[in-house]
Structures are given as C-alpha cells and as structure tokens.
Structure 1
Amino acid sequence: MIEESYGTHDQQTLTITSSSSVNWVAYIHGGAWRDPFMTKTMGYSLLSHVPETWSGLSIDYRLSPAIQHPAHIDDVMTALAYVVKKYKVEKVILVGHSAGACLALQALARYSTDPPSFEISAIVGVEGIYDFAGLVEEYPDYLSFINPAFGGQSLWAAASPAAFDWSSLSLPYSPKIKIVQSVQDELLTMAQADSICQSLQSWNPDLIKIEGGSHNETVDSIALRDIINSLCT
C-alpha cells in the first residue's frame, strides 16, 4: 500500500492499495463527517477483495467542526483529480459508506455539471445518509452532527443528495447506481435508502437489501464484496 498526500492538511491523504490497472475502485469512509477514528483504513479490507485487474484507492478528507460543507466534497474531488492525473485513470467505481455515500453522490452531481476525463462506471452507496431533513425528523439527536457539517437547516437542501434535481443532470454515459442497506443496521432505517432511490428515479438506481450486519460491519460483509466484484467486469 502507498500513502500519498493530495493537500497540505494532515487529513488530506489517500492510500493506494494497488495500482495495477487503469480501472479503479475508490472508497470514501463515513463517520458523520466528524469522527477522527473513522478513516480511510476502514476501506482496506474491502479493497483487498476487489479483482486483481482493478486498482484500489481509499480517501481521507478534512472533518467537521474544523471545516464545513463544501470542504469535505472539495477534498474528495481534489483527491480523485490527483489520482486520475498521476495514474492515468480511465474508469472508477465510487464506493461510499454512511457520510461517504453522501459524498459519492455529491461527487456524481458535480461531475454531471463538469464531466470528468474518466468514466464513473458505478456508484455504490452503503448505509448512506442522503436526506438531511428526513434524517433529523426521524432521529432528532443526529442534528448534533448535521449542523456542524452543513450549517443551519436553510442550507441543507443545497447539499442533501435527496433534494437534488437529478433529472436535470446527465453524463455522457450511464453509471450503475447501487443503494445498499443492511437490514440489521442499528443506526439507520430504510428511510434514507428509500428517499434517495425516489430522488434518483430518473437514473434507475438499484435498492439492494443485504444481511450485512450492523452499520459499520456492512463494509466488511461478503454480500457487499459480491456487489462490488459484480461491477468489476
């Protein structure tokens, strides 16, 4: 594994688990945009199981409350641009867990208005947070991490993937979108997954329920590995 910096902050780093191919699986970790113990290392196990014909990348980014949206997604975009330029990337599968799933879809939205030089072949959102207003309505205590990351409620819609007008966005190709939710998730019900699938209706997302264990265990589940590997064709 190779660790590289794409910025000057100590959290602006990434790890390349392999670089054998122009096709990459890129992992974006969760942690409610604030947890310093949820880092790019969370993706190492998953990336170790992707086919040898694919390269692997795991991204760290700056955390709240020190920074606020759009700094998180700015970091992810900068990291991807760094790797694409250095390693001549042609195709990427973006895999995001929890807050990272939100970031993966925010990246897709940005690329839809500024198409990249590489193909995003798939987005895999795992146990994702997509609908901020719906999340706080269902779990009022979660306001404790939404506000530091995104500011007051008047600012949520501009950043919340479930509030995007996806029908107005397009790419020169059609990425597969997999919304993955473990039925054992203790931190999120199916409401977030249902909300984003409704919002993404024009992009034909697949909602996949799995026996993936708890919220954080899902990343290391065999079921998720199988989904990722099925996309590496």
Structure 2
Amino acid sequence: MVSTAYPRHIPSIRYSDSSDFFSRLQTLDVWLPRPLEQSDPANSLWIIYIHGGAWRDPLQDAKCVEPTLNRLFSESNASALRHVAGIASLNYRLSPYASHPTDPSSRFDRDRNVQHPTHVRDIARGIQYLQKEYGVKRWIGVGHSCGATMLLQLVSGLGLEDESSSLTGNTEQRGPEALILLEGIYNIPLLLRNHLPPTCPENISQIYRDFIVGAFGPDQAVYQSVSPVSGKYNTKQWSAGRLIVICHSYEDELVERAQRDVMCVALDREGWSIVMEAGDDEDEVRAEGRRVLNVRDLKGGHDWIWEDGEQIAKLVAEVVQRLT
C-alpha cells in the first residue's frame, strides 16, 4: 500500500520500458521526505542506493536501504534532509544461484540468470527513469559490496561502452556528484587470489569462484578489464564527479581491505586528491575542478554495515551537507 503521508514510500515502481518481457526485478522504491514540488531540483539532492549480495543473492534487494532510512529520518539528521528531494533504492536482475539454501534460482528464470553488463545496464535504466519521471538532476550514489562495484562501473562506463547515451558525460542525464562506497569489490582477480587455499578452505574458495563465474562468466581473461580499478574517472568520462567516500571495516569477514587500497591507488592515478579523514576545513570539494577522495574506517561485519544503517546514514548526511 502506498502511503500518502510524508515521508512517503512508493514501492515497486517498474523502470523497464520493455514491452515483451515483464521483469519483477527491474523495479525501484522511492521515499519522498516532502511533496516533490517543494524541493528545488537545482538546490537539492537525491540519494540513490544500490544493494549488494554478490550479484546473485535474492534475499538482498531494494529494501536493504530501510535501516539506513530509519536512521536518516531521525531528528539528528533533520538539517541534511532539508536538502534531500528523495531517496531511491534499485532492484536489478541477478546472476544464477542454484545452491541458495532457501530460494535457489531456476535456469528458466530470466530474472535470475544474467551476467555483466546486464546488472549495470539495469541500474542505468533505473536512474534514467528517475531522471525522466522524477526530474532527478543532482544525486549521490550509495553502494554496498557489489553495489559499490557497479556504481564505479557505471560512472567509468564499464559495461556501457556501446550504449547510445551515457549517464556520466551527458548534461541531460547527469552522473552522481558523489559516491559513498561501502565494502566494495574493485579488483576481481585480486579477490579470487586472496581467497585461494591455503589462505581459506577450498569450500570457501569455491563460493568466491562460483559467484564471480555466475556474474562475469568463466573466462578469467576478462576479469581485470571489468574491474573498477581498470576504469576511467577523469572529468571527461565523469563530468559531475566531485567526491568519493570509500569505506571499509577491519571487521569485514568477506571482502579484504586490499580492495579499498588498490581502488585508492587507481583513483590517485586518475588525479583524485586523497584525504584520509575529512577535517573542518576539508570543503575543497566545492572548489571548481576539485575531485576529492575520502578514505573512511567503518565498524562491524560485512552485512552489519547495511543491516544497522547508522554509519551509512551519518555518511549520507555529511556528504549532503558538504555538497550543499
């Protein structure tokens, strides 16, 4: 049931324009803090959230943002919310997961048998829908785990090379001004190498191989080229980009800190200015042409970050304030 009070939640909005195939996963949820006409598109921001789940987990979906929203809509974040026009959380089609313990995928299910770049293209379509139907102009991308991976693939064009239009350089379909990246996977070959025996048991290593093969196919030669560390993040490719906040927890039991470190090296190579922690005077983000990379430590396990939501809400509130 759609709420008519505010904040208002509009669930399961179909963003695909395909007439020959109805996808239950090409949907998004929207939350509006106030009537949309009360938010000036030029001076307010949208938050667009991309969930994780190793490209395949049916139990992680658009509702993974709800713990963050519960924190964000609290009184302590009221000042940041004044500058937020809306929050959207996207579903996207998934890769196979036939061994899932409670909801295994069927090979006949078109929503759960896709590979890269379909996931990223679904996200691009969802954002284009928001820009067309909700007038989204300025936005911040928030991604957890493979959601962080896909946001970087999106802004760098990995998987969208043959699209007729881009979300990153086209002024009518602007890319995000900032990204908040949480526990992401940025170098796929490194992820696989770091989970080989004897570093971890063979059965765990097989899980990593399975979800990577499911998402990107069996040809290991392509894994480096689709990894975000291989992308371009310059002003020509991503004209709106001003701020990246890349976050990791020492307690993450699934994705190692080396993923964050190699992504920082890649961004430094692309001209981003690395600032380990934001200080009171660290608003150089507002300077014309300035591209700032903040590196942040989080607390808690891999999924706890989104299950609790408090740390994400604080990061969102901070980034909104810095951009406005």
3-state SS of paired residue (1:158): coil
Mean Cα displacement is larger for which, 10-19 or 92-101? 10-19
Match of 2:10 in 1: 2
Alpha-carbon shift at residue 230 of structure 1 (Å): 0.5
Q: Does 1:28 align with 2:50?
A: yes
Unmatched tracts of structure 1, length 5 or more: none
Match of 2:117 in 1: 70
Alpha-carbon shift at residue 120 of structure 1 (Å): 1.6
Mean Cα displacement is larger for which, 127-136 or 140-149? 140-149
Alpha-carbon shift at residue 175 of structure 1 (Å): 2.1
Instruction: Go from structure 1 to structure 2 and tell me whether the alpha carbon gap of 1:221 and 1:163 turns closer, same or farther (over 3 Å shift).
Output: same
Contact persistence 2:168–2:174 (CA under 8 A): no
Task: Work out the CA distance in 1 between the residues paired with 2:49 and 2:132.
Answer: 18
Instruction: Go from structure 1 to structure 2 and tell me whether the alpha carbon gap of 1:154 and 1:119 turns closer, same or farther (over 3 Å shift).
Output: closer
Match of 1:206 in 2: 294
Instruction: Go from structure 1 to structure 2 and tell me whether the alpha carbon gap of 1:147 and 1:168 turns closer, same or farther (over 3 Å shift).
Output: farther
RMSD, matched Cα = 1.9
Q: Does 1:46 align with 2:68?
A: yes
Match of 2:243 in 1: 176
Alpha-carbon shift at residue 188 of structure 1 (Å): 1.6
Q: 1:162-192, CA deviations, whole angstroms, 9 ceiling, x for partnerless residues?
A: 1224458543344200111112111122111
Q: Does 1:100 align with 2:147?
A: yes
Contact persistence 1:17–1:44 (CA under 8 A): no
Q: In the comparison of the two structures, how many residue pairs are matched?
A: 232
Unmatched tracts of structure 2, length 5 or more: 1-8, 17-21, 74-79, 97-112, 158-166, 197-204, 274-292
For 1:1-233, what aligned pairs fall within 5 Å after superposition? 1-3=9-11, 4-7=13-16, 8-18=22-32, 20=34, 21=39, 22=41, 23-48=45-70, 49=72, 51-53=80-82, 54=84, 55-65=86-96, 66-110=113-157, 111-112=167-168, 114=170, 117-118=173-174, 120-140=176-196, 141=205, 142-151=208-217, 152-167=219-234, 169-201=236-268, 202-204=271-273, 205-211=293-299, 213-219=300-306, 220-233=308-321
Task: Work out the CA distance in 1 between the residues paired with 2:234 and 2:246.
Answer: 18
3-state SS of paired residue (2:47): strand
Q: 1:59-101, CA deviations, whole angstroms, 9 ceiling, x for partnerless residues?
A: 0000002000000000000000001110111211000000100
Return the TM-score normalized by structure 2.
Answer: 0.67
Return the TM-score normalized by structure 1.
Answer: 0.92
3-state SS of paired residue (1:159): coil
Contact persistence 1:115–1:171 (CA under 8 A): no
Alpha-carbon shift at residue 26 of structure 1 (Å): 0.6
Higher-Rg structure is 2
Task: Work out the CA distance in 2 between the residues paired with 1:136 and 1:95.
Answer: 25
Task: Work out the CA distance in 2 between the residues paired with 1:165 and 1:132.
Answer: 17
Contact persistence 1:93–1:122 (CA under 8 A): yes
Instruction: Go from structure 1 to structure 2 and tell me whether the alpha carbon gap of 1:180 and 1:115 turns closer, same or farther (over 3 Å shift).
Output: farther
